[in-house]
Amino acid sequence: MAEIFRYLHRVTYAECTVGDHIYHARYLDLLEAARGEFMRSLGTTVLALQDQDFIFPVIEARLRYKFPARYDDVLTIEVQPILVERVRLNFGHRVLNQNGKLILEAETFHACTSRDEKPKRLPPELVAKLQPFIPTI
């Protein structure tokens, strides 16, 4: 069974609308923060990869909103690589509140490029570190 990385986040007032729920676009920031911490848990950082001339721009994102997250909720953001091949790195995400209620499902699709935005193979060391998290069909 593949591992899943989990990142905790408490919803701040600044992330919420007047209707007391997270503004829809803020979820992209939360997913980014969770992916950054996932990389850190693997023993590297996004900045360290960038310094090695690897960046991972988002080329597509799909978000499915299931239930509102509200101010002061504690969210668990699950991150799992779902596709790792040559120059592609895709992540699946789930966001749950403190009661286990599903808030959001999302997928982000990334290209691996150099800083000058030329496609580049994923670093083999990163691919090896991602292996325990990749689900098998």
Enumerate domains of the chain plus CATH numbers: 5-133 (3.10.129.10)
What's the pLDDT tens digit per position in 70-106?
Answer: 999 999 999 999 999 999 999 999 999 999 999 999 9
Residue 53 token pair: 């001339």
Strand partners, 65: 104
Helix (H) or strand (E) holding 39: helix 26-41
Pairing of strands 58-65, 5-10: unpaired
Backbone angles phi, psi at 63, to 5 degrees: -125, 135
Record the pTM: 0.94
Q: Closest Cα to residue 83, out of 125, 39, 130?
A: 130
Query: In the prediction, which pLDDT does 1 show?
Result: 82
Q: What is the mean pLDDT of residues 26-55?
A: 97
Residue 115 token pair: 């800083």
61 pLDDT band, cuts 50/70/90, is very high
If you average pLDDT over every residue of the chain, what do you get?
96
